[in-house]
Amino acid sequence: MAPVMELCVEDYVFPPMVKAPGSDKNFFLGGAGERGRSDLEGKYVKYTAIGVYLEEDKATSSLAAKWKGKSAIELADSVDFFRDIITGPFEKFTQITMIQPLTGQQYSVNMARTFVERWKDIGIYTDEEAKAVQIYLEAFDDKKFSPGESILFTQSPDGKFTIAFSEHNAIPKDGVAVIQNKTLPEEILNSIIGETGVCPQARQILAERIYELLNKEVLAGGK
């Protein structure tokens, strides 16, 4: 696979290649960006820096079958393209680094509540999802994140979901919790790079980088 470059978000550098907690795979940096929102006074506040990584050996080959030949603009505008990343048969790794201090409950509780409400609305909330959410919330219950500390998510296509915490540049080998569920990690990644995701910059860079990687494979005669 052609090399990718590191990306810098605020003071945090996301390296081009990493190992992820709970996985023996190599991951390349697909995209990165900030998450922020306007405060009560209308000032835009940046809360987290987010990097989204994809499994090196499988991601581009999996996406090429459907998306090779599409332009970067077509990829960026396609809901299906990002769904194929989120649900694709390859591992994904997401690193969320704090720009502002945040407690574990501030991060996890509202997110989980939103997910559960949506799952109930579309009829996919089962005992398995309820158990996954409970383990997820317990992992964050007593956490307090300072700037530079990270939340790490590794998701596998077989449903293994690993949660870890670290300093930004010190990714651990193992997680603090492992959940066997596909719905929850896919929903988390969708909330970041999906159609209404909180990190449109990462979404845009993902489209550009996958286009470039597929195009380079075409030029090189790759499959």
| Residue 123 belongs to domain with CATH number | 3.50.70.10
Beta strands in the chain (DSSP E): 7-9, 12-14, 17-19, 26-38, 44-55, 92-98, 102-103, 144-145, 149-155, 160-167, 177-180
Q: What per-residue confidence (pLDDT) applies to 218? A: 40
Residue 43: its pLDDT value, please?
86
The residue range of the domain holding 106 is 7-57+89-193
* Cβ 104 vs Cβ 145: under 8 Å: yes
Is residue 138 domain-resident?
yes
C-alpha dist (Å) from residue 214 to 65, 155, 171: 10, 23, 28
Mean pLDDT split into 10-residue runs, the chain, 223 residues: 87 96 97 88 91 96 95 97 98 97 95 96 97 98 96 97 94 97 97 96 97 70 38
**What's this model's pTM, rounded to 2 decimal places?**
0.94
Provide the pLDDT for residue 55.
Answer: 98
Dihedral of CA atoms 7, 8, 12, 13 in degrees, nearest 10, equals 40
Give how many domains the chain has, as a whole number.
1
Q: What is the predicted pLDDT for the residue at 222?
A: 39
Quick one: pLDDT at residue 197? Answer: 95
Give the pLDDT score at 216.
78
Question: Is residue 181, in this structure, part of any structural domain at all?
Answer: yes
